[in-house]
Amino acid sequence: MTINFIRSMMTVAAVAVICPSSAFAQNTTPQAMPYTTVDHPQFVSASQTTFLSKGDILIGISNGDVAKAYPAAILAQHGCVQDQMAEGPIAVTW
């Protein structure tokens, strides 16, 4: 009796998974990205980055005497950082 109950529950679960996916397939409304863009990033000197580990990935940009680094983990959470360089605005994504 327990095995039959488990089999019937597995059948119900399979139907529950299949039915909603067909309903979602008909939805043509574009979904908004869940990210919040960072518009005014705050920077610290390299010696103050105690929150980073050796294995962390950084996305870097430099121009002349200005060098900036953006932790990939933070970029992954926000999707985009809008920043400024001497020549104008930049967007950093991951």
> What secondary structure, in 3-state letters, does the chain show?
CHHHHHHHHHHHHHHHHHHHHHHHHCCCCCCCCCCCCECCCCCCCHHHCCCCCCCCCEEEEEECCEEEEEEHHHHHHHCEEEEEECCEEEEEEC
Residue-level pLDDT at 17: 38
Tell me: pLDDT of 60 over 80. yes
**pLDDT value of residue 79:** 85
Query: Domain locations in the chain?
Result: 2-93
Q: pLDDT of 74-87, one tens digit each? A: 888 888 899 999 99
* Percent residues over pLDDT 90 in the chain: 34
